[in-house]
Amino acid sequence: MDGKPTKSSGTSVRKQPLGGFWLIDNFEANLMGQKFRGQGTTGYDPIKKKYVGTWIDSMSPSLMVIEGNYDKAGKVLTMEGMGVDPLGQPSKARLVTTIKDQNTHVFEMFSQGPDGKFAKTMTITYQRRVRKMDRVR
């Protein structure tokens, strides 16, 4: 890679099939010419009093376990956990989801470098797809 940002498009299907406790996200995209698939879970743990989640995908053999807090005023969910960097080394990740409106969420991923500072590695803007049967007449 030459360090320049790349653009891709994909699909995220989010459902709550387990009584509303867990949001399950199935994500598919074409990233840098490769098919990418991932699955995440997010829920609220009343014992920890934190949001918790997991992430697995087709480009990493490791499970990422994350937890964090939701800022209701700013509509921002910030979670952190350990992941694996592109070289296969453990790396702390910060995942920030900002709810812009009912149909738009912005996800940003930051990775912690050897200097302890976080650098943005990814931004995804989610736009709700309106299906014909969802439209109000």
In the chain, where the domains are located: 11-129
d(CA 98, CA 74): 8
> Could you tell me if 36 and 6 are in contact, meaning their C-beta atoms sit under 8 angstroms apart?
no
Task: Please tell me the predicted confidence (pLDDT) of residue 2.
Answer: 57
Tokens of 124: 């995804």
Mean predicted confidence (pLDDT) in 48-63: 93
Residue found by looking up tokens 């050897």 in the block: 114
Tokens of 63: 């499970």
Please state the pTM of the whole predicted model. Answer: 0.85
The residues pairing with 24 across neighbouring beta strands, listed in sequence order, are: 15, 41
Q: Is pLDDT above 60 for 125?
A: yes
Tokens of 66: 């994350």
